[in-house]
Chains A and B, each alone.
Chain A
Amino acid sequence: MPPAARPSGPLSAVLCLLVAGAARAAAPATDGDWPMPGHDFANTRYSPLSEVTPANASKLKLAWSFTTGIEKGHEAAPIVVGSRMYVVTPYPNKVFAFDLTKAGRSDMVAWEYAPKVLPAAQGVACCDVVNRGACYANGRLFFNTLDGQTIALDAASGKELWIAQVGTIHKGETMTMAPLVVKDKVLVGNSGGEMGVRGWLKALDAASGRLAWTAWSTGPDTAVRIGPSFRPFYPQDRGKDLGVTTWPPDRRQIGGGTVWGFVSYDPKLDLIYYGTANPGIWNAEMRPGDNKWSCGVFARTPATGEARWFYQFSPHDLYDHDGVNENVIVDLPFEGGARRAVLHADRNGLFYVLDAATGEVISATPYGRVNSNRGVDLATGRLIPVDAKKPTTGKVVRDIAPAAAGAKDWQPMAWSPRTRLAYVPHHALAMDFEGTEASYIEGTPYVGANVRMYPDPVDPGGGNRGLFTAWDPVRRRVAWRAVERFPVWSGALVTAGDVVFYGTMDGWFKALDARTGKLLWKSQTASGIIGQPVAYRGPDGKEYVAVLAGVGGWAGAIVVGDLDPRDATAATGFVNAMKDLPSSTRKGGALYVYALP
């Protein structure tokens, strides 16, 4: 399709909404776009393109590539609208716009934007200096910088429209998440629970960058934006100021609950959904109580930020099991009829199906090996903890599954309305907690935690740490799965051609049959892949699949940080599980784009 045929300007806002209707009714003119990180508001990562199929995927070839020149972990999704592609890099958060009509040529960079980012932000970020990408709406491109700025650019020219300083690194806040634009609001959240940061989601006016509202994750109801329209499904989430009373006095100030995952939106219910991270202060004994509103999911009205419901995956988290993993909004056919549902594969090892309107738990089922909880009591909605696996200072607790990194971390899953399967990139790690010594002395360098992660010894075993699971949320079972040596730290992509894509940390980009899991094709990249693959229709009308390579992130810290493999507790114990990664890949960011010949 020629670029001139593409609507731009104000029309694109309509586009965004149309695409947001997810897989069901994408307009033909836009079905080749990828305007936001999860493709659509529902966060499906499902592309309606169907040129690449299990029959021809083996013929995929590299169409073009681009080196970013940055050596940190590249987690972003390339954003494609019309004949333009936009890529945000990790710190220093450069933005590249490519003219896809010139793809592969030396003049394909339409513009490049380099924000002013405080270098000190690198020392504040917990887990590499990643960025999860931009969001396009209404002719504007929105993204966050590591040092807490939200920036709007004119998508055509790369001209800066506004900059909003929403977080401060001086208090330990960083920003790594990708914004979501809903109507006239840009939704952004903070990172930095490691530094005792109190979490928030902010809505900025898309035209001006002015703050519209802030919803804190802890504190009194007014700060959390809980009012008369808040109707959580379970009684433990009802009551006044639970963001205060479920903490010891004052503790909520450093309460965590940061908002660094993806935001979803359901236009039908007019609700946004996002997860909150783990509570502040690692030592759980200093924060008795449920520690609301950490480790859960909020449904809010986007116009005002008012909370509609909340569900807590992990009350009083003991394991660093943030609740930030993405929420995918789908219609699910159950025996009693179809239900609008939120799909969520949590760090705690359970795959949740929640009622999107009420927050009721329809089901919660382990999708990997779990021994730290016994699932959810469906009568009360509460997670059932296992006392023997409680990390306790002064005690050595072995074989806690899943580990601190959970059964799945940030890496987003995809959902196909055709196969009705969720494609979950994740990992299989267990950990030992050896809480035997004081670990912090003021004024002396950080001494580190006594956590060691390692490949789950039972499932899949053999030292394998990665799983790519096709999960049937109605039958609550694995349809098929692929085993990988390293954690699958990339996002997933599924297309209407019934092909799924993901990347591995040792640098293989793979295409599998979405129905059977059969490996159809793979191609090697110079560095390991932790980015979010996307599919788009090029100006020539062909289907392209794009992914950023560039190993890093929490799992890849051993490579980008040149960590010592003998330093088992580095990166909160993750290094211990990744000793063989440096011999399997090299650092360096690059964009790879594939197509059929």
Chain B
Amino acid sequence: MKALVVLTLVCLLAGGASARTLRIAADPNNLPFSNDREEGFENALASMLARDLGAGIEYVWRAQRRGFFRESFQGDRCDLVLGAPVGFERAHVTAPYYRSSYVFVTRDGLAIASLDDPRLKTLRVGIAVVGDDGADPPTTLALARRGIVDNVTGFSVYGDYREPSPPLRLLDALDRGQIDVALGWGPVAGAAAHARPGAYRITPVTPDPDPLTGMPFSFAIGIGVRKDEPALAREIESFLARRRPDIERLLDAHGIPRTAP
């Protein structure tokens, strides 16, 4: 009996503050969101969350592609994913911790604010595109419906995974002068602009939602929690509410642009 008590004590001590561990599924090569050096804003949020809950973090790295949620939650029994669109059916998504929109990214004084700007028909436009898997960013259709097709260059969101953070190739093309305007998701463009002050002009895409397609350009992002962990979801909801100002500062520090709901 005495031995058991001692053993229990040893376990408690050894476990220390990390007795509880959050298993987090994240992409190891997807800045500004996350990477395996924990440089992304989602990594920073994970650290803040873990400290707040008195938990440790165990990352399960996986490229964010088809099957990401299924494999992370079912196969690997991860507890959470740090960025999931509100309303996404494959997780319990918390209240949003940010809301952002698609943006025009330009350089050298060029300013584009609307999809209906006639210059978009002649400027060289870059967008992120998916393969043939049934999904595209909302910008794809918005341009197509306006007849802006021939002057558009598509950059695969998957890119070449050997290169750092493939989604950033869209902005590289802008830097190289291969395109004049990039249409990208706010956090990607915002973080790049934050890292290089003055390099880019970032303007939210309007009209939002797009009357021609009915599709929105703004999305609210929360934390995706495995559906059979309602208690954890409640804790995270509480964390997001309590630490609102800290989270805002964190997002500012990474240059994540937000839009009002």
Contact = CB atoms under 8 A, between A and B. Distances in A.
Contacts of A197: 131
**Could you say which of B33, B88, B161 has the most chain A C-beta atoms within 10 Å of its C-beta?**
B161
B216 interface: yes
A304 to B, nearest CB: 30
Interface string A161-172: 000000011111
Given A286-B154, A442-B157, A561-B70, A447 B132 contact: no
A126 B66 contact: yes
Given A196-B129, A249-B150, A447 B135 contact: yes
Contacts of A562: 70, 74-75
B30 interface: yes
A256 B144 contact: no
Given A254-B156, A567-B89, A448 B135 contact: yes
A441 B65 CA distance: 12
Interface in A12-47: none
A446 interface: yes
Nearest to B73: A564
A280 B216 contact: no
Contacts, number: 196
B83 A281 contact: no
A194 B66 contact: yes
Nearest to B134: A449
Interface stretch (A411-419, A432-440, A496-504): A432-440
**Could you say which of B65, B75, B219 has the most chain A C-beta atoms within 10 Å of its C-beta?**
B65
Query: SS class of chain A's interface: helix, strand, loop or mixed?
Result: loop
Interface stretch (B8-16, B104-112, B182-190, B193-201): B182-190
A567 B161 contact: no
B85 interface: yes
Contact of A285 (B130, B138, B141, B154): B141
B65 A123 contact: yes
Contacts of B257: none
Interface in B169-184: 184
A123 B67 contact: yes
Contact of B81 (A393, A394, A445): A445
Contact of B133 (A170, A277, A442, A449): A449
Given A285-B145, A288-B149, A172 B70 contact: no
B98 to A, nearest CB: 11
Interface in A543-580: 561-564, 567, 570, 572-573
Interface string A446-457: 111111000000
A194 B70 CA distance: 18
Given A283-B136, A440-B136, A248 B131 contact: no
A525 B43 CA distance: 47
Contact of B156 (A172, A285, A320, A393): A172
Interface string B216-258: 1101010010000000000000000000000000000000000
Given A248-B149, A286-B136, A442 B71 contact: no
A281 B70 contact: no
A169 B33 CA distance: 22
A171 B65 CA distance: 12
Given A285-B141, A285-B144, A286-B149, A192 B83 contact: no
B135 A443 contact: no
Contacts of A249: 150-151, 153
A597 to B, nearest CB: 44
A282 B128 contact: no
A346 B161 CA distance: 33
Contact of B137 (A192, A440, A561, A563): A440
B156 A444 contact: no
B42 to A, nearest CB: 9
Nearest to B178: A250
Contacts of B71: 123, 561
B90 interface: yes
Interface in B58-74: 62-71, 74
Contacts of B133: 126, 193-195, 282, 449, 572
A227 to B, nearest CB: 28
A215 interface: no
A113 B84 CA distance: 41
Contact of B134 (A196, A256, A572): A572
Contact of B135 (A120, A280, A446): A446
B33 A196 contact: no
A5 B42 CA distance: 67
A287 to B, nearest CB: 8
B185 A441 contact: yes
B97 interface: no
Given A250-B154, A441-B137, A447 B85 contact: yes
B261 interface: no
A449 B152 contact: no
B143 interface: yes
Contact of A438 (B30, B128, B138, B152): B138
Interface of B: 30, 32-33, 62-71, 74-75, 81, 83-85, 88-90, 128-138, 140-141, 143-145, 149-154, 156-162, 167, 184-185, 187-188, 213-217, 219, 221, 224
In order of increasing CB-CB distance, the 5 nearest A-B pairs are A449-B134, A438-B138, A285-B144, A196-B131, A194-B133
19 contacts: A195-B65, A196-B156, A249-B153, A250-B152, A280-B132, A288-B149, A394-B215, A438-B215, A439-B135, A440-B130, A443-B30, A443-B188, A444-B83, A445-B68, A445-B84, A445-B224, A448-B134, A449-B135, A573-B134
Interface of A: 120, 123-124, 126, 168-172, 192-197, 248-251, 253-254, 256, 277-283, 285-286, 288, 320, 393-394, 404, 436-451, 561-564, 567, 570, 572-573
Given A280-B131, A281-B132, A441-B185, 11 more contacts: A124-B65, A172-B131, A193-B133, A194-B66, A194-B133, A196-B129, A281-B136, A283-B136, A286-B141, A438-B138, A442-B185
